[in-house]
Amino acid sequence: MKRIFQLALAISVAGIAFAGQVSPDFKVTNPFAPVTIVVQFSTPPGAAILGQVTSTGASTKQQFKHFPKFQVFTVPAGLVNLIAQIPGVKYVSPNRPVKKHLDLTTATVGSAIANLNGWTGQGIGVAVLDSGIDYNNADLKTSSGASRVVYSQDFTGENNTMDLFGHGSHVAGIIGGNGANSGGKYHGIAPGVNLINLRVLDENGAGSDAAVIAAIDQAIELQATYNIRVMNLSLGRPIYDDVTSDPLCLAVESAYQAGIVVVVAAGNDGRDNSAGNQGYGTINSPGDDPLVITVGAMKTEGTTDRGDDLIASYSSKGPTLIDHFVKPDLVAPGNIISSLRVPGSTLDVQNPGNQINPTVYGAPANSPSAYISMNGTSMATPVVAGAAALLLQQNPAMTPDQVKARLMLTASKSFPVFSIATDATTGISYTSYYDAFTVGAGYLDVQAALNSTALSTGVAISPVVIFNANGSLSMVSPDQFAWDDQFAWDDQFAWDDQFAWDDSTVFGASTVVNGSNVLMLSSSSIMAQKGTAGCSAIWSSKSSWDNGTTSSTSTLVKGEK
């Protein structure tokens, strides 16, 4: 204790004008209990600063090659605030938990035709940060039998890169499965890509900030070796910090800056009304980062005709907490998606009714099913990641900004004013409005994206929604990027008379008016979620629709019809 007192005195003498902050969600219940924290330094720390940190009793747990300002420590909980006061420490946050969040799909978004024309993602590497990949699956092999899972590494500490949960293989199949087990029926968006398997979720679908950051760090390291141009994160957690402080957001921005298109799930909290906002303000981190492509989920309604497709009511909606970015960026099919099954995995065992009958794809009735259906923005995200791979095969010179802008520009903007989904189990109905906070810039259209020649020249940063003095709302880009009426959103789509946004929509306890329907959208109640138990409740308390369970590790939301 004497050493700690002397350190505290030294910090006091130096002054704490340069001291950092502790994130508001960090709570001390037992000051002697060891906790794992992510420490952000103002500059890469030298021996002197690290010595001060470890003098508190902290031990270094993890360092990163491409994030020299980040380090992970284990320390008694009662000393975390002391570490934050060390000059040079910028921000301290807990090592937060993260969780996981096709025949009709490819035809609906137009990738099947693109594949026939030679666009398969050949030569493009896609990093999949998930629960592992079944790299021996025939759908993920070349015609010569070599696995297209070209690299695997575990970040959970279990020294196992196989998919014990069953989520990552499903995601990988949506991105790049070739349909070998189904005679080509269930193939992914980009069946020629190479996959980089970075396992960050365990057999229960649980992971941590540190594991995801370490995997992103390694993806950047391996970028040149495997031509990693796309990164898929079908996972997330609640938002606690603004994007300039959130370690997950800072990590995905580093991948973006390295030239990697980062595609992230919006989250499955669109039905959550615990804040009285009808599911608005429920985007997860790191999907709140303005430089990534954040994806919501659509329902194909069992047809290849896009005209009857509707938003999935569970798809999380913007604006983002704290920063008020307009999210998601676009939507893609994510409901009742058939992809790779991992026999005996956690999700397979928990959901036997979701296995696809082998006779559907021409296999003997008594043969084990090779496929399983899942639902959620976790499934919509790899659809967009696959589309990004197709664009990059077509034009390898495209930047992440150009890929994002092209996909948003060419996204279909034909939607109804609203739709209603009724939960078959509870009988509860959910009304969805097709505003920019629900469907972003529109519905992914791969053919339109490949046929377009538009190339943006600026930073494709998602806009911020602001309240104007005249009572209207505007979308403004911090970097003056041209998200105007002719580019991604238009007057008939986001801000017209059908969506008469009133004077305090996101900034006070006022209302949003959609026709004759009025729904509350109070920023005070949205912000109240930050740093409280309400954040974890948003994730776990979905028993009425989350596959019949309140488990926070269940990834399957109930499919809507």
Which listed residue (131, 338, 378, 554) is catalytic? Answer: 378
Give the residue-averaged pLDDT of 322-330: 94
Confidence of residue 513 (pLDDT cuts 50, 70, 90): very low
Give the residue-averaged pLDDT of 131-159: 96
Confidence of residue 359 (pLDDT cuts 50, 70, 90): very high
Say which residue, 105 or 53, is predicted with more confidence: 53
pLDDT at 66 over 80: yes
Say which residue, 514 or 258, is predicted with more confidence: 258
Q: What is the pLDDT of residue 3?
A: 41
Which residues pair with residue 373 across a beta bridge?
A: 338
Burial class for 317, CB neighbours closer than 10 Å (0-12, 13-18, 19+)? buried
pLDDT at 14 over 80: no
Told to judge if 378 belongs to the known catalytic residues of this protein, a careful annotator would answer yes
Burial class for 407, CB neighbours closer than 10 Å (0-12, 13-18, 19+)? buried
Asked which of 164-168, 171-175, 195-199, 335-339 is least confident by mean pLDDT, the reply is 335-339
Q: Which tokens hold the place of 354?
A: 């979701």
Which listed residue (66, 101, 167, 170) is catalytic? Answer: 167
Phi, psi of 415 (to 5 degrees): -140, 160
Q: What is the pLDDT of residue 5?
A: 33
The CB-side HSE value for 372 (13 A sphere, CA atoms) comes to 28
Confidence of residue 471 (pLDDT cuts 50, 70, 90): low
Q: Quote the CA–CA distance of 385 and 516 in Å, as a whole number.
A: 38
Which residues pair with residue 454 across a beta bridge?
A: none
Q: What is the pLDDT of residue 560?
A: 78
Q: Quote the CA–CA distance of 13 and 336 in Å, as a whole number.
A: 61
**pTM, entire model:** 0.84
C-alpha distances out from residue 95 to 56, 102, 247, Å: 18, 35, 9
pLDDT at 501 over 90: no
Burial class for 547, CB neighbours closer than 10 Å (0-12, 13-18, 19+)? buried
Which listed residue (25, 130, 209, 348) is catalytic? Answer: 130
Told to judge if 167 belongs to the known catalytic residues of this protein, a careful annotator would answer yes
Q: Quote the CA–CA distance of 57 and 538 in Å, as a whole number.
A: 35
Please report the sign of the dihedral spanned by the C-alpha atoms of residue 497, residue 499, residue 505, residue 506: negative
Give the residue-averaged pLDDT of 356-382: 93
What pLDDT digit, counting tens, does each position of 526-556 carry?
A: 222 222 222 222 222 222 222 222 222 334 5
Question: Average per-residue pLDDT in the chain?
Answer: 81
What pLDDT digit, counting tens, does each position of 259-309 carry?
A: 999 999 999 999 998 888 889 999 999 999 999 999 999 998 777 777 788
pLDDT at 17 over 80: no
Say which residue, 252 or 113, is predicted with more confidence: 252
Q: What is the pLDDT of residue 285?
A: 97
Told to judge if 66 belongs to the known catalytic residues of this protein, a careful annotator would answer no
**Contact (Cβ atoms closer than 8 angstroms) between residue 101 and residue 78:** no
Return the residue matching tokens 């308390």. Answer: 541
What pLDDT digit, counting tens, does each position of 407-437 carry?
A: 999 999 889 999 999 887 888 899 999 999 9
Nearest Cα neighbor of 339 from 385, 380, 392 is 380
pLDDT at 481 over 60: no
Q: What is the pLDDT of residue 473?
A: 67
Asked which of 35-39, 48-52, 395-399, 512-516 is least confident by mean pLDDT, the reply is 512-516
Instruction: Express as a percent the part of the chain with pLDDT over 90.
Output: 66
